[in-house]
Structure 1
Amino acid sequence: MGGVPAKKRERVLRSLRNAGLVANVENSGASVAAAPFAGILAASPVQKAEGVEKFLKDGRIDRYPMGAAERHALLLHVAEHAFRPGEELSEAQVNERLRVFTDDHVTARRYLVDVGILERTRSGTSYALSPQRAEPIVTE
């Protein structure tokens, strides 16, 4: 705690010792006591996200997967939560629903169309879920 006045440093260290968060170590002042933290970590281990959850933070797209299969799964997840089969939506309606999942609704809409999950009408004025949306489109 360089730059902290000695009295304040001692007061802080005393408070931390009283709380059981640091222990005295000869000639070095204090060190972190592992026991309280080990108990806390053991009580609530960090759960590693799996599937599309790896790419979501608070239900919103955090990043897009590099792999086509994972990207398709993420986009399918978004589409299944944002749209209903048989409904036809304007571009503005699609954008509004995608904003729930990302601030970059334009990229999300483009990806959904590119992978065949969302279809645009010939006139380009409306969108609907593709009946073939569950099958990834292979482009090679």
Structure 2
Amino acid sequence: MAIAALDPRDRVEQLIILTERLTDLVARSAQAFEDGRPQAAAEVLEETTRLANLYRHESARIRADTSLVNSAPLALRTQLARATEAFDAVLARQGRAIEAARTVTEGLVKAIADEVASQRGETAGYGPGSAGASRTAATAITLNQRA
């Protein structure tokens, strides 16, 4: 999918609209993660993904052929540059929010796994030799270190 622009001015105007919409969606997603509501971020995921792919495609086209935007008015190109800077800032914010949510989630999973392991280690044995039964760590829970 690509932007169907009539001329460089039209292309830049459409890119500004695209960038501002994408910035808004990513900001909403970051806010959802910051508020501890990742499910709210999922509500806009489909549109965000679609627009992000369009943005990536158009950015690559412009890098390959700057004449697509060079003759657009300077004021519009400046507005696009500002919109892009705002988008970059929101992306950084979202990255921090997602990293914080990931860290919290990993901590919770580890705490639960440790608690399960400690409770499993306290099982009572049967028979005369049960007092010296070895205590082993729980192995039923797997932690994904890359999650």
* TM-score, shorter chain, exceeding 0.5: no
Structure holding more strand per residue: 1
The TM-score, its normalising length taken from structure 1, stands at: 0.24
- TM-score by structure 2 length? 0.23
